[in-house]
Amino acid sequence: MATLVKIAKTLGATPDALLGVKREPEDLPEPTVRAQLLDRMVSAVNNLDDYEMSIAVQQVEVILRLQNEKDAATASPTSAKGESAE
């Protein structure tokens, strides 16, 4: 059982899912692409040690900073000054 739990954790799945046990209701919608990506991210992060996690956090923060810089650069100059464009 411990091996199954370890494999499930590594794969980002549950032991029930690996064994084919379906616990969700049939009418539950399929997860979104974002939800699937988030599940993969959490699964990966759960397998990092503290040092690796620190690096991962810094990488995500760089992505966010670059996105903010990109958004600021593409914003119209008039909206940045609070003026309306006519």
Residue 49 in any domain: the answer is yes
Query: What's the domain range around 37?
Result: 2-20+32-71
20 vs 8: CA distance, rounded Å:
12
User: Is residue 9 a contact partner of residue 42, using CB atoms and an 8 Å limit?
Assistant: no
Residue 8 in any domain: the answer is yes
Residue 54 in any domain: the answer is yes
Residue 83 in any domain: the answer is no
Residue 40 in any domain: the answer is yes
pLDDT tens series, the chain, 86 aa: 788 778 877 887 777 777 777 666 666 688 899 988 998 898 889 889 999 999 999 999 999 999 999 999 998 665 555 555 54
Residue 46 in any domain: the answer is yes
pTM exceeding the 0.85 threshold for the entire prediction: no
Which residues, including other chains, have CB under 8 Å from residue 74's CB and lie 6 or more apart? none
Please give the full DSSP string across 3-25, using - where no structure is assigned: HHHHHHHHHT--HHHHTT---S-
- Count of structural domains within the chain: 1
Residue 85 in any domain: the answer is no
Residue 38 in any domain: the answer is yes
3-state secondary structure of 79: helix
